[in-house]
Amino acid sequence: MAKLINKTKLVVDALTNSPFVGHLNCGSCNGCDIEIVAALTPRFDIERFGAVLQGTPRHCDVLLCTGPGTRQMEPRIRRLFEQMPEPKFIVAVGSCASTGHIYQETYSTCGKLDNILPVTAYIPGCPPRPEAIIDGVVKLITLARQGAKATEEEED
């Protein structure tokens, strides 16, 4: 049992100190995507918090999703989610991903991203500023760290 706890603690420490972030466009207008890329530039520099952009979901801890999620993308979105290792977190970036925005009742979308994936955090805005994206990722890391401490205390 102690080895399992230590392994879990190691995974949570790795996640909270250096989360691997992935980016997935689920059918957005690219406004949020441009802001995510801006958050990675030296001006805003999300990497100062340890977040590193990864090219494959198999290496991602956090998936930044933009757009409402189109019906054509739905099976692909689910498949990418299943490829992510545990623990995995989904962040809905922008108004379309968070609420469905103007696409919430259209025939070609699934509405908000919650209808497809279990979203952990929301970053509102159309499009959200890079500072808001960085703040959302940092708050997610903080919540994961607090959740791990609470779980650790319950087991003791």
pLDDT in tens, 36-79: 999 988 899 888 888 888 888 898 888 999 988 888 989 999 99
Distance CA 139, CA 41 (A): 20
Distance CA 49, CA 122 (A): 19
Q: Rounded to two decimals, what is the model's pTM?
A: 0.83
Cβ–Cβ contacts within 10 Å for residue 131, how many?
Answer: 12
Distance CA 55, CA 21 (A): 9
The pLDDT, as a whole number, for residue 156 is 58
79-116: per-residue pLDDT in tens?
Answer: 999 999 888 889 999 988 888 888 888 888 888 888 89
Distance CA 118, CA 3 (A): 29
The pLDDT, as a whole number, for residue 9 is 67
> Looking at the DSSP assignment, which residues form a beta bridge with residue 122?
92
**Strands (DSSP E) found in the chain:** 20-25, 52-53, 62-66, 89-93, 121-123
The pLDDT, as a whole number, for residue 106 is 84
Q: In the structure, what pLDDT confidence band is assigned to residue 14 with cuts at 50, 70 and 90?
A: low
The pLDDT, as a whole number, for residue 129 is 93
Q: Where are the domains of the chain?
A: 21-111+124-129
- Is the pLDDT score of 2 beyond 70? no
What is the third-level CATH fold of 21-111+124-129? Rossmann fold (3.40.50)
* SS3 assignment, position 67: coil
Q: In the structure, what pLDDT confidence band is assigned to residue 5 with cuts at 50, 70 and 90?
A: very low
Peptide bond into 87 cis (omega under 30): yes
Q: What is the mean pLDDT of residues 129-144?
A: 88
Q: Regarding predicted confidence, which is higher, 32 or 4?
A: 32
The pLDDT, as a whole number, for residue 103 is 81
- How many helices, marked H, and strands, marked E, lie in the chain? 5, 5
